[in-house]
Amino acid sequence: MKFSQTRICGLLVVLFYTVGFFGLNSTMSVELFKELVPFHLLLMFVLIIISHKNQNRAFWTFVTVTYIAGFLIELAGVKTGYIFGDYNYGPTLGYKVYDIPLIIGVNWVLMVYSTGAILANLKIKNRIILALFGAGILTIVDLLIEPVAVKFDYWSWANNEIPLHNSIGWFLFSFLMMSVFYMLQFEKNNRVGSILFIIQALFFLGLNIAII
C-alpha cells in the first residue's frame, strides 16, 4: 500500500488522539498526558501545515489573523469577564502571557480550519450561510469541550458555572473567524483537516462519556 503525505498525516492525527484518549483516562498516566497537551496541539498544527496544499499568502494571512485574534479575544475574555464569562486558565495548556496560554491561538486556528475543511465537502456556495453553519458547529463542539476542559485543568469557571453568554460569545467570535476563513482565497479542501475535526469531536465526546 502506498502511503501519501496526506494519508500519513491523517493516520498520525488519529493515532495521537487515540493515545491521548486512553492516556487521559488512566490514573497512572493522566498527569503526564496533561503536560503533553500543548505539544499535542502544536503537532496537530504542524500536520495541518504540512498537509495543506498551495500555501499562498492568503493561507498564511488566515493563520496569522486567526492566531492573533484568538489570543486577543481570550485575553479580553479573561480580563473583563464580559465576552465568555468569568473564567481563568489552568496549567494544562502551558506557558502563558498575561495569563493566556500562547497555544490557545493555535487551538483557534485548528478549530476554525478543521471546521472549514469538513464543510468544504458540502455543496454550499454562500459564504454567509457557511460561516453561520460553521459557527453553530463550533459552538456545539465547545459544549463537548467544556466539561473536559474543567476536568483536566484547561480552564476553570467562577462558582463552577458556565454562563449562557459563553455560547453566545463563542458563536459570534466563531462566525467572525469563519467569515475570515471564507473571505480569503486559499484551498479549503483538506482531508487531514476533515479527519482532525471528526477525531477531535469523537475525542471530546468520548471523554465526556468517560467522566460522567
Beta-bridge mates of residue 98: none
Measured between alpha carbons, how far is 195 from 71 in angstroms, rounded to an integer? Answer: 25
CB 92 within 8 A of CB 154: yes
Task: Please write the tens of the pLDDT for every residue from 24-58.
Answer: 999 999 999 999 999 999 999 999 999 999 899 99
The domain of 106 spans 5-211
Q: Compute the mean pLDDT over every residue in the chain, rounded to the nearest whole number.
A: 94
Nearest to 18 by CA among 193, 148, 209, 207: 207
Task: Please write the tens of the pLDDT for every residue from 155-173.
Answer: 999 988 888 889 999 999 9
Number of domains composing the chain: 1
Q: Supply the pTM of this predicted model.
A: 0.95
